[in-house]
Amino acid sequence: MTLKSATEIGKCLANPTRMQIMEWLKAPEKNFPPHETLKHFNDGVCVTYIQEKAKLSQSTISTYLNNMEKCGLLLMTRHGKWSYFKRNEQTIIDFCTYLTQ
């Protein structure tokens, strides 16, 4: 991890809603309804569910999630027209290690 990448992650995490999304995605089965089509959370949570829970516009949530993906906090998987996001645990571990060294 570089200073630049750690700084970008820090910027993302400075937003309370983004921090809340990270918390929700830590235990998606407790925070979101079951997916109708996938029946599991292996690929993450559908953007629609995240947007509904956050009570923000679709464009705002999309911007947040895309920024979080760009800095490596989230991984995105597409199924047809639907996008699913989950935490990138390796980046989170790397970030925490960087901060403690």
In CATH, what number is assigned to the domain containing residue 67? 1.10.10.10
In angstroms, the Cα distances linking 18 to 68, 81, 99 are 8, 23, 19
Q: What tens digit of pLDDT does each residue of 25-64 get?
A: 999 999 998 877 767 788 899 999 999 999 999 999 999 9
Average pLDDT over residues 67-72: 96
**Nearest Cα to 79, choosing from 45, 31, 29, 30?**
45
Range of the domain at 28: 3-100
pLDDT at 36: 73
36 contact partners, CB below 8 Å, separation of at least 6: none
Percentage of the chain modeled with pLDDT above 90: 84
Size (the chain), residues: 101
**H/E run at residue 76:** strand 74-79
Phi and psi angles of residue 80, each rounded to the nearest 5 degrees, phi first = 65, -125
In the chain, how many domains are there? 1
